[in-house]
Structure 1
Amino acid sequence: MNSSGYTKRAIIIGAICSLVIGLWVPFSEGYLKGSYMAIDFTTGAAIFLFFVLVGGINVLLKLINKNYGLNFYELLTVYIMMIIACTIPTMGLTFYWLPMMPAAFYYATPENKWAEILLPHIKGWLTPKDPLVLKYFYEGAPRGTGVPWNAWIMPLFFWGLFLVSLYFVMTCMMVILRKQWVEKERLIFPLVQIPVEMAKQEKQEFLPTLFKNKLMWIGFIVTFIIGTINGLHHYFHFFPSIQVVSSIPIFRNTVSLPFRLSFPMMGFTYLIPTNLSFSLWFFALLNFVQRGIINITGYSINEIVDGYTQSCGNPIIGHQGIGAIIVLVLMCLWLARAHLKDVFLKAIGKRKDIDDSQEALSYPVAFWGMIAGLIFMAIWLYLSGTPGLAIPIFLFALFVFFLGATRILSEGGVPYVRAPSIASFFVISGFGTSILGPIGLASMAFTWIYAADTRTFVMGSAANSLKISEGRNKNRPLFWAIMLAVIIAMVSSVVITLKLSYQYGGINLNSWFFGAGAWWPFDFTAKKILNPTGPHPGGWLWTIIGGAVMWFLMFMHHRFLWWPLHPLGFPSATIFLVQGTWISIFVAWLVKTVVLRYGGPKLYKDLKPLFFGLIIGQFTVAGVWLIIDWIAGGQGNVLFWI
């Protein structure tokens, strides 16, 4: 048996699961409008399918013949491909990619004057041009018309080249940093613990070890029952629903303090150190206090920001987050400087003795592949209209935000991680619209496809995948497994989304992705073209303040063992979903603190399956009800948002 787990059958099953995710997730979130299964790093679709695989299909294979069942490493290979696939179909790419391509033309009206302000500056090869093609995409095609593939093929091809290059660069960066993060800094990667525990099984046993734990099933039943009751309420209103969200107004009704129970957030928070979980909810509450003070005093930096930066709660807080994430990434790279030097020397052939045999790519391939990918991306951006001077600034911000979010995910286990701002806004706010001009601004609007609502992206799941692959005797096939999952998910999700759009009309599918989510970037861009702005000094001030606070927190954390605040809490608190789930983080922190104090490490370890069960149960019941909704023809049955 191949101990690396990269067997033909594992890759084939992983490819099939990636195809299922690529087709099923857009259908369930677009047509069924049901529970979200792939909009963040909880990767609910992967957990649900993995539950079916390890608890059902693999058990049946073993019952037929014990040698037919997938082993530990094979199961995890399948899971790796699934979490990579989850980053593509909706939030991560396709549900922004396809609706946003024609959005500027479809949503242009005499009132907003986009036809004069914006449309002349959009490069023709970025989007289909035929007005009927765009109209039918949003409103549905006449019966028997079908998808006009010829109009979409070339724009999708050009975009596909860029996106595959982006994902290739992301993977190369994670290969380069894997040894530093996994072996030297020993980051805990909380999100990988569930699949690892689900895949563990004793020899000659049919069920995974976790599935024999009563506490796991208690947690599973709790969330499964809550989801079932809410699912029944959708069809039969005499069933009561169980609400897990509320809020109270504070600071003279200028701020709403939410109380939302998120079982995945509780489950993953239980797995991280208590100083980190304390810092997450502490800085989240501090964020609400800061917003309240700003609102009451009326202080403002008078800057119009994009909606994603605004979602931090205030432009000031958004800029603080930008500074914090930049310092986080720069400090992490500084700590990794010795390792990065080794990678570079290996890449240029000066240190052939450096061992990279356990990596998914050799260091020379990863390094030069990253450089080649960045050059290709720069050329593509230039051809799309981005001025040469702005390209390095944009790429710097883009990968700083991705790397920072990936670090928070890998070390902090925050499944709802998202950068505090977007790369195009960093360019506009920091350097003014003149560095871009109208054509460059139009080009930047399209970058929102892959660089705005970054609640899930390939780099984060690639980091988790490299951690999952730890301990195998060879890992070169891992790169190809990752890229195969990317390609399958891209192609399948594009096909199903186009079919759904032309059959039912995009505006009748998910109202966010095909509505405001697609319209927003071009509205923001048109206003910037019409009203140019210079570099914003207030933004720079609060970015510097945020960076200084982050540097201080990192310095204290690394220098003094008694320091109670973990630096990751500061940038994480700018994420609106962390703010929204602070009470879940608090509950998990409190439980773990009490458990460690009175029961010690043994009790903490014994209770882990309970929290695993909460997570597995939520996504299993969500998956089951999506199947029921499909059969029953129900729509809008969202059991859990997060």
Structure 2
Amino acid sequence: MRKTVLYGLGSLLLLVNAYFGTYAYVVTQALLWTQTALQRGPLVMLFALVCINLAFLKFAKRWALNQRELITLYAMLCVGTCAAGYGFVQILINQIPAPFYENYATGGSKFKDYIWPNIPTWLVPRDPAVLNGFFRGNTSLWTPENLKGWAIPVLAWSAFIITIFWTLLCAMSLFRKQWIEEERLTFPLVLLPLEITENGGRAPIFKNPLFWAGVVVAGLLESVNYLNFLYPSVPSIALKPGMGFNELGPLFTERPFSAIGRFTLAFYPSIIGIAYLLSLEVSFSCWVMYLVQKALIIGSTWLGLSESGGSGPTNRMPFIKEQGLGAFVGIALFSVWMARKPFKKALESLERRLPDEAPHDELMSPKTALVGGGAGLLFLTLFLTAAGASFWQSLVYVALYTCCAITLARVVSEAGAGWAWAPMWGNGQFVADVFGQNHLTGKEATVLIGYTSWMNDMRDNPMPHSAEALKMAQGGGLSPRALLKPLLFAAVVGTVAAFWAHLDIYYTYGAATAKVRPALQNGATGPARQTVSLLVSPLLADIPGLLGAGFGMLVAIGISLIRQRLTGFPLHPLGYAVGMTNTMEYMWCPFLIAWALKTITLRYAGIGGYRKLLPFFLGLILGDYVIPTLWGIFGMLTGYQMYMVFPH
């Protein structure tokens, strides 16, 4: 009975979360519900559940949820919410039909010549009436014509997305023991959910005045900016880039320093709170390596080895995006090597045909994880092959995506990261550059660039959240095995809910109207335009880029090996990886502040002083999540577009 209620409540929360989060971001443009490593939606809904649960504990105890049930619901929300975010439906749903919409396909777009013949009919609706309603709005999804037009594409893409979730869940099962029990990664983002769900909500932290001081400080700081947005006479507080002195890039006007590009200051309370939870070596490595990236760009420009800050078509030193990709691959390969025991055990069980028995403390048996993950990888590869790419191109693409997901999970599990990005050299572009753009057929280019580029943005990748769910299970006395069905259930319901929420909202408001977020509609045709450009003017294989990626891979593996042999080595490979991506663009300053505060605290107050201050920083996180949500709800109820606290 309790399990049935739990699944029913989880389904309801996933549906509400998908629709509210989509509406708040796409229409009201007031809240970032997804994208962050610690997702706003699940955390706010968990806090609301805890508050409601306190009432049940007092007046109807038999219906109250315990910590294990609260953790299960939170884990379901985290994984299910990913499907409605960046890197999945939120971008995909705009890019699927865009090349076939008459207003985008006319003029000089050349979509009819280069896109239309090269994409299978089962991946995209083509009926003009269905597309017009989607982009122009003022109609309903729930007409037979619209439902029929979207049915097959939604089923196809849903199968693809759910398989991604399944495959990464299998991979995480193989890494669980190594990361959680052997290496004992810190998992900083699970501390707040565990603290507020203790005793079903009767948590000691709620009695700590420092915790509520952090909530109030973060809430007041953000509320001032909401008031400034509504009433400009109220002074603002420059917490994020674009506010007053926070943009440092324009101050550097002469070469080589002008090559520094975007260089910003930010003071997000929640990110400072998250970074305070990290080990000093990780937080130090993250902000230092970002500054090293900027120094490399300036140095390469000064030496004449770089143009346009390293992003020019020829002189690209110091190959930042290439180093970033190489670092991600290197960390993934090193992680697999460190976790070789469960992989070896799974292979042995296959060779000896041993019974498939899942230990109580594992999400699934090593054999199931290996076979299931392999089947998932094969399905993803064959899906892309059926869509038009070659088998080997698809295999490289899927392998690269998996490597980036593994490293991203490692980054979030050990560095929190706040806003974790994948490498800037996207999977499809990498495959195109490796095989040579001049060797790609129209179908191959369309699939690799035009219809899978949404996978390059991995801010809502589910693997980090699966890792955190397994860590929370350990902290909350819950068997990892008990999370398998809820997480798979959440992946399916979350994917269906994501498509429903986006389609329903766009048929009401129009995906190409001024009523929805401009960034989403502006990016709808970007991959198709890039595909056309690639086919019209293809380039040769990118040998310098591959060398740059190889260098990044060797550096990441080298730092990992040095850390195994030299205790106290100050640099961390994760810092190098995130320092070569966009992750630290807005995060480096909060990480520096938190690192300095924690260093001073430990030096003068010791570990006891750090623990006493910890509730304040957890309060900063919660206050920076809950209070802006209340402002966002106010905007939705009143019809006002609201200030957005994060990222810009």
The counterpart of 1:504, out of the listed 502, 506, 509, is 509
Q: Which residue of 2 aligns with 1:492?
A: 497
Q: Does the 8 Å contact 1:306/1:524 carry over to 2?
A: no
Distance 2:139 2:575 in 1: 52
Q: SS at the partner of 2:330?
A: helix
Q: Which residue of 2 aligns with 1:633?
A: 639
1:496-530 CA deviation, whole Å, 9 max, x = no partner? Answer: 21122111111235435532322221121111111
The counterpart of 1:418, out of the listed 416, 421, 431, is 421
Distance 2:532 2:302 in 1: 31
1:354–1:102 distance in 2 versus 1, CA, 3 Å: closer
1:510–1:444 distance in 2 versus 1, CA, 3 Å: farther
1:506–1:269 distance in 2 versus 1, CA, 3 Å: same
Distance 2:541 2:28 in 1: 44
1:231–1:121 distance in 2 versus 1, CA, 3 Å: same
Q: Which residue of 2 aligns with 1:150?
A: 148
**Which residue identity lines up with residue 73 of structure 2 in the other structure?**
V
Q: Which residue of 1 aligns with 2:445?
A: 441
Gaps of 5+ in 1: none
Q: Which residue of 2 aligns with 1:164?
A: 162
Distance 1:208 1:509 in 2: 42
1:342-362 CA deviation, whole Å, 9 max, x = no partner? Answer: 132234555669862222222
Q: Which residue of 1 aligns with 2:372?
A: 369
Alignment of 1:199-598 (within 5 A): 199-201=197-199, 207-245=202-240, 246-248=246-248, 249-250=251-252, 251-255=256-260, 256-300=262-306, 316-349=319-352, 356-420=359-423, 421-434=425-438, 436-448=440-452, 450-470=454-474, 472=477, 474-507=479-512, 508-512=514-518, 514-598=520-604
Q: Report the CA distance between 1:61 and its aligned residue.
A: 0.4
The counterpart of 2:178, out of the listed 161, 177, 180, is 180
**Which residue identity lines up with residue 447 of structure 2 in the other structure?**
S
1:295-353 CA deviation, whole Å, 9 max, x = no partner? Answer: 4445349999899xx9xx98810001111111111111112212320132234555669
The counterpart of 2:47, out of the listed 47, 51, 68, is 51
1:570-627 CA deviation, whole Å, 9 max, x = no partner? Answer: 0111222312221100000011111111111111111111111111001101211121
Distance 2:175 2:333 in 1: 13
Q: Does the 8 Å contact 2:453/2:527 carry over to 1?
A: no
1:194-243 CA deviation, whole Å, 9 max, x = no partner? Answer: 101111139xxx73211111111111101111222222223223222222
Gaps of 5+ in 2: 241-245
Q: Does the 8 Å contact 2:419/2:587 carry over to 1?
A: no
Distance 1:190 1:597 in 2: 21
Q: Does the 8 Å contact 1:306/1:425 carry over to 2?
A: no
Q: Does the 8 Å contact 1:270/1:611 carry over to 2?
A: yes
Q: Does the 8 Å contact 1:22/1:488 carry over to 2?
A: no
Aligned residues: 630
Q: SS at the partner of 1:568?
A: helix
1:531–1:353 distance in 2 versus 1, CA, 3 Å: closer
Q: Report the CA distance between 1:547 and its aligned residue.
A: 1.8
**Which residue identity lines up with residue 108 of structure 1 in the other structure?**
A
Q: Which residue of 2 aligns with 1:114?
A: 111
Q: Give the alignment's TM-score, normalised by structure 2.
A: 0.91
Distance 2:220 2:308 in 1: 48
1:17–1:552 distance in 2 versus 1, CA, 3 Å: same
Q: Does 1:15 align with 2:11?
A: yes
Q: Does the 8 Å contact 1:88/1:486 carry over to 2?
A: yes
1:579–1:148 distance in 2 versus 1, CA, 3 Å: same
Q: Report the CA distance between 1:27 and its aligned residue.
A: 0.7
Q: SS at the partner of 1:326?
A: helix
Q: Which residue of 2 aligns with 1:613?
A: 619
1:68-98 CA deviation, whole Å, 9 max, x = no partner? Answer: 3211111111111111122121324221121
Alignment of 1:187-202 (within 5 A): 187-201=185-199
Q: Does 1:138 align with 2:144?
A: no
Distance 2:581 2:309 in 1: 20
Distance 2:647 2:216 in 1: 19
**Which residue identity lines up with residue 505 of structure 1 in the other structure?**
G
Q: Does the 8 Å contact 1:48/1:620 carry over to 2?
A: yes
Q: Does the 8 Å contact 1:280/1:569 carry over to 2?
A: yes
- Mean Cα displacement is larger for which, 443-452 or 85-94? 443-452
Distance 2:164 2:451 in 1: 12
Identity %, equivalent residues:
26
1:412–1:252 distance in 2 versus 1, CA, 3 Å: closer
Q: Which residue of 2 aligns with 1:599?
A: 605
Q: Which residue of 1 aligns with 2:85?
A: 90
Q: Does 1:80 align with 2:75?
A: yes
Q: Does 1:32 align with 2:9?
A: no
Q: Does the 8 Å contact 2:426/2:453 carry over to 1?
A: no
Q: Give the alignment's TM-score, normalised by structure 1.
A: 0.92
Q: Which residue of 2 aligns with 1:127?
A: 124
Q: Report the CA distance between 1:155 and its aligned residue.
A: 0.9
Distance 2:587 2:520 in 1: 27
Q: SS at the partner of 2:265?
A: strand
Q: SS at the partner of 2:458?
A: coil
Distance 1:521 1:185 in 2: 40
CA-atom RMSD in angstroms? 2.6
Q: Does the 8 Å contact 1:26/1:497 carry over to 2?
A: yes
1:30-69 CA deviation, whole Å, 9 max, x = no partner? Answer: 1111121212212011111111111x20111011133432
Q: SS at the partner of 2:538?
A: coil
**Which residue identity lines up with residue 127 of structure 1 in the other structure?**
V
Distance 1:144 1:396 in 2: 36
**Which residue identity lines up with residue 612 of structure 1 in the other structure?**
L
1:16–1:276 distance in 2 versus 1, CA, 3 Å: same
Q: Does the 8 Å contact 1:390/1:435 carry over to 2?
A: no
Q: Which residue of 1 aligns with 2:57?
A: 62
Distance 2:350 2:190 in 1: 30
